[in-house]
């Protein structure tokens, strides 16, 4: 029974770790100079709020709750220490990457009148990067499931600063790219949709390429060894075929996001 319980807990932890690592480069995480408990698993759990456009090209922001999950140490029995919890400040790093996109409906905005519903989508993939002291660069690539079946990715770099103890700041450019399938799903307009009663959109068929360029900044402050406060803000500008989309032209070419949250660090052992 104990072995089965451990196996189940490990499976859940593995899934959480994959989800947490997905946004390792662009999420709300504690400063990497925090003291780390000597346990097999060290996880930061929290809750926050995120304000962002409801869909690609929307001209209004919506606020949604945002769960925060990140592993600082993850032990996999039989395979050694997957992550020893020490944040490497020099060298290459790898991590799983994921993203979730909610469904889009014509009723979301008068600008979308006549368009077909786009189901929710899950994006799964991986990321890799390089860090040298105060500089970090990375690239992510993901495959879409359900709502779209295209490929998406992100390029990014950060300047990392610790102006005072327990406070970490980072700021850097971002560039998102996507395949033609993704672009046609979220930025394209079919002839049927354009001809629908009440539609203000013209037919449009975009191709793949870069869709946004922008900046992202983050701040994390460790109130205690366990509790941290976080703030994140970003700006992106639609470019290329995405910027030419009637959906973006009737909405907003600039995309703003802001998020805030709090996390608490848990440490525990599952294996003898």
pLDDT at 15: 40
Position 228 scores a pLDDT of 95
pLDDT score at 79:
53
Phi and psi at residue 140, in whole multiples of 5°? Answer: -130, 145
Please tell me the distance from the alpha carbon of residue 236 to that of residue 175, in angstroms, as a whole number: 8
The pTM score is 0.82
pLDDT in the model for residue 247: 98
Question: Can you give the pLDDT at residue 22?
Answer: 41
Q: What is the pLDDT of residue 1?
A: 46
DSSP labels for 70-108? EEEEEE-TTS-EEE-S---SEEEEEEEEEEEE--B-GGG
Q: How far apart, in whole angstroms, are the C-alpha atoms of residue 208 and residue 27?
A: 26
pLDDT of residue 76: 66
Give the chain's domain count. 1
Core vs surface per residue 210-242: b (16+ CB within 10 A) or e: bbbbbebebbbbbeeeeebbbbbbbbbebbbbb
End-to-end CA distance of the chain: 15
Q: What is the pLDDT of residue 234?
A: 96
CA 107 to chain centre: 26
Give the chain's residues under pLDDT 70: 1-25, 27, 74, 76, 78-88
Nearest to 183 by CA among 118, 133, 234, 134: 118
Residue 153: the pLDDT is: 96
**Which pLDDT score is estimated for 24?**
52
CATH of the domain at 75: 2.40.230
Domain that holds residue 185: 2-268
């Amino acid at each position: 029974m104990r072995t089965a319980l451990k196996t189940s807990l490990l499976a859940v932890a593995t899934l959480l770790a994959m989800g947490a690592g997905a946004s390792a480069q662009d999420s709300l995480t504690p400063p990497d100079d925090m003291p780390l408990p000597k346990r097999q698993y060290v996880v930061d759990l929290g809750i926050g709020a995120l304000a962002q456009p409801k869909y690609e090209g929307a001209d209004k922001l919506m606020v949604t709750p945002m769960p925060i999950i990140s592993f600082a140490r993850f032990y996999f029995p039989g395979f050694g220490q997957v992550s020893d919890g020490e944040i490497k400040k020099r060298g290459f790093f790898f991590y799983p990457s994921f993203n979730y996109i909610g469904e889009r409906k014509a009723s979301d905005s008068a600008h979308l009148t006549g368009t077909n519903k786009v189901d929710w989508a899950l994006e799964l993939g991986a990321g890799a990067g390089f860090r040298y002291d105060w500089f970090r660069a990375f690239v992510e690539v993901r495959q879409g499931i359900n709502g779209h079946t295209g490929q998406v990715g992100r390029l990014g770099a950060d300047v990392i600063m610790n102006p005072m103890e327990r406070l970490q700041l980072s700021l850097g450019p971002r560039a998102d790219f996507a395949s033609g399938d993704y672009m046609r799903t979220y930025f394209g307009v079919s002839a049927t949709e354009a001809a629908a009663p009440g539609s203000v959109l013209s037919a449009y068929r975009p191709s793949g390429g870069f869709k946004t360029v922008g900046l992202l900044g983050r701040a994390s402050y460790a109130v205690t060894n366990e509790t941290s406060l976080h703030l994140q803000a970003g700006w992106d500008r639609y470019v290329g075929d995405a910027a030419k989309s009637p959906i973006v032209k009737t909405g907003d070419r600039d995309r703003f996001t802001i998020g805030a949250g709090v996390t608490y660090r848990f440490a525990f052992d599952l294996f003898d």
